[in-house]
Structure 1
Amino acid sequence: MTKKMTITSIKKTKGVTPLVMITAYDALFAKLMEPSCDMILVGDSLNMSFAGKADTLSATLEQMIYHTNAVAMGAKDSFIICDMPFGTYINSDEALKNSIKVFQQTPASAVKIEGGEDKAHIIKHLCSNSIAVCGHIGLLPQTVRLEGGYKVKGKTQEEREQLIRDAKAVESAGAFCMVIEGVKADVAKEVADSVNIPVIGIGAGRDVDGQVLVFSDMLGLFEEFTPKFVKKYMDGASLVKSALKSYSDEVKTKEFPQDIHTY
């Protein structure tokens, strides 16, 4: 990217140019991602891909602030969104207090909150207090224990109608864009067409306003499993293992370091 995205420029992409979003958790990878991505999401997915946990629920606000600052150091000209972790927006006052902490302690451009109609009043409260909000509807990772797993949404007429209501409620509350996750592609298209702000998909087909992936998934670094919606753009785990094996072999045979690596 040659110019940092703004809320205005993000909204203007609707129906024009698909948005590219990626997750990042540190300065090193954020710097590599910045030239190719419109937005960087510091996702609570770090709890799984970075910390090895089974789900996102134990991520803390302090963790999110730390990693958001790290990402901002590497991607100084990026539009950065900080995921609000589980338990930090249980009501409007708590949400505002914790979002203010994010804005005061990091250069994040926005926060992200999971939920549709049920969280619209919280989104509205944040926006009315100068907190920019990215919504998140569909499959909600923070409800995984309540729902007994990760379940694709939009399979019934009732779910389709609810998703459209959720999207409209999030938009009306003041969100500048939203993520839609784990939703049947035809339904996700209907949802995106029902609102005037960008709807960014993950596992929601191509007929939305952009895409987001977890970086360790799309780079092939996470080996335990690959979700159906993920395309691996490289076999990162094999490349890293191969490089480490070469390093190990050269150290043991004293092939490394050579004279060019020696003072």
Structure 2
Amino acid sequence: MTPLVELVGAGYAYEDGPAVLSDVDFAIAEGRALVLLGRNGSGKTTLMRLLSGGLRPASGALRLEGEEVGYDRRGLTRLRTTVQLVVQDPDDQLFAASVEQDVSFGPMNLGLPEAEVRERVDSALAALDITALRDRPTHLLSYGQRKRAAIAGAVAMAPRVLILDEPTAGLDPDGQERLLDVLARLRAAGTTVVMATHDVDLAVRWADEAAVLTPCGIRVGAAPVLLSDPELLASAGLRMAWSPTVTAFLRAHGFLGADAPGPRVPEALGALG
């Protein structure tokens, strides 16, 4: 099956600097929950910006459903109506006076009819559970509300792929759970979600697939398997997650069968009794 979005032999270096990414082959399959992990400076942000069109590969190509992306107005419009990136700090993304104005900016910029813009805004606000905040000035929102408003602006573009840079950073536990509920609803509605994070526990719990950026390149695979590899995680400057560590302990002591899935969160331990 042709990947929805794919980098082929892609490389990128910032001006007067060494290559951040070299000869990268990286694909996003539709319908998956994919997590990106790696130490600071490993190239996660560069990779996300290449995938969303914010940067253009210095070598190689970006393909959308098998067709190479053109970096003219037509090509970028096609890409950005398919792939949306939400940056880590919502204050870098929110700029309009009110939540509704901010969320409506992207659809209006596409030249959509007013009725469709209104429908997209209503749908995005409802998806992020912030309908009650539509008239709220953005500067009066809490940090968690600003995070959700920034994501709503991307969702209003009706992307097939939503890329989130550290979406749970700065949120308290309740805020994290609410955001994960939102992402689950978006996935159920057909959106492919890609999340960059340093939280290996979150990655194991949430993702189907993982991409780990190491000094030797990108390793991609099933999240529960890839994120159980201590050598791989150490090479990426990451610690072992709780879930695979506890699962290995339970199996070693006969509390869990070899083929039985291990607990993904501490609360699940009770069910094993």
* Interval of TM-score (by shorter of Structure 1 and Structure 2): 0.3 to 0.5
Question: Which structure carries more relative contact order (alpha carbon 8 Å, separation 6+)?
Answer: 2
TM-score (norm 1): 0.36
More strand by share: 2
TM-score (norm 2): 0.35
